[in-house]
């Protein structure tokens, strides 16, 4: 499939993603979230965001029911449809209290930006929280972690690489290898240097600064450039400055 990234920062980049890694990702998400035919999933995310593909896929492969309801308040929809699982932006946990969502919602998946520690600690007391990480250029998600008492202090954790995914830290930057890597940026040969060869393996250079924790999990520490996330959207200030100048 072809999915455009960073549309808010200038010329969008079309990421050409093969199908070979998607089942690898979906099966491990289903296992981490313990999804079954009894679950009811609310489709929250826009189709312009690759994580929405995950919502469709985990429902199909687990036999869960995917609810598509575009009207009204998210909490009202969750109550009406007795939603048990939702993939939502971390900013929602920052804004809404832990008792805002109905008791039926037992699991939440977040990713794409850092969620504040107070919000994580509040919500994890009443429902399971799974944190995922992965660029569009590596098929939705490349690492996950379920938050529990043992990792309560890891505010910026991105978890452990999925089976079939390899993480390599080069000068603080995270490089990713595995079946999930995208083919290229569509018709953007100038950006081909984002994919590199190292010791016979093909890696994607994420631009993310990452370190490894004592338990083997990884932690997000920022960017090698000036990019940042604003309400889930990737912003590149230098591209905005170029347009203004």
Cβ–Cβ under 8 Å, residues 80 and 101: no
The pair of structure tokens assigned to 50 is 């690759």
The CB density around residue 190, as the number of other CB atoms within 10 Å, is 6
The answer to whether 108 and 129 are in contact (CB under 8 A) is yes
Angle, CA of 159, 66 and 162, to the nearest 5°: 20
- The string of pLDDT tens digits covering residues 85-108 is 999 988 889 889 989 999 999 999
Task: Please tell me the predicted confidence (pLDDT) of residue 5.
Answer: 78
Cα–chain-centroid distance for residue 73? 23
Give 211-244 pLDDT, tens digit per residue: 998 889 999 999 888 888 776 677 878 778 888 8
**Cα-Cα-Cα-Cα dihedral sign, residues 173, 54, 4, 1:** positive
Q: Is 174 helix (H, G, I), strand (E, B) or coil?
A: strand
Per-residue b or e along 176-187, where b marks 16 or more CB atoms closer than 10 Å to that residue's CB: bbbbbbbebbee
């Amino acid at each position: 499939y072809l999915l455009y990234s960073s549309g808010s920062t200038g010329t969008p980049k079309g990421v050409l993603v093969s199908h070979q890694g998607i089942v690898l990702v979906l099966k491990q998400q289903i296992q981490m979230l313990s999804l079954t035919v009894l679950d009811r999933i609310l489709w929250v995310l826009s189709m312009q965001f690759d994580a929405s593909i995950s919502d469709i896929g985990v429902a199909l492969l687990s036999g869960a029911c995917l609810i598509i309801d575009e009207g009204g308040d998210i909490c009202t929809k969750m109550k009406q449809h007795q939603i048990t699982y939702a993939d939502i932006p971390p900013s929602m946990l920052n804004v809404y209290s832990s008792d805002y969502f109905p008791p039926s919602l037992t699991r939440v998946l977040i990713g794409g930006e850092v969620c504040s520690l107070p919000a994580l600690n509040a919500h994890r007391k009443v429902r399971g929280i799974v944190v995922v990480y992965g660029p569009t250029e590596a098929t939705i998600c490349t690492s996950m972690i379920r938050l529990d008492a043992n990792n309560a202090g890891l505010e910026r954790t991105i978890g452990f690489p999925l089976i079939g995914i390899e993480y390599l830290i080069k000068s603080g930057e995270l490089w990713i290898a595995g079946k999930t890597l995208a083919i290229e940026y569509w018709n953007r040969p100038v950006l081909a240097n984002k994919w590199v060869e190292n010791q016979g393996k093909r890696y994607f250079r994420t631009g993310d600064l990452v370190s490894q924790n004592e338990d083997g999990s990884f932690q997000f520490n920022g960017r090698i450039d000036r990019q940042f996330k604003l309400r889930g959207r990737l912003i590149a200030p230098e591209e905005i400055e170029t347009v203004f100048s």
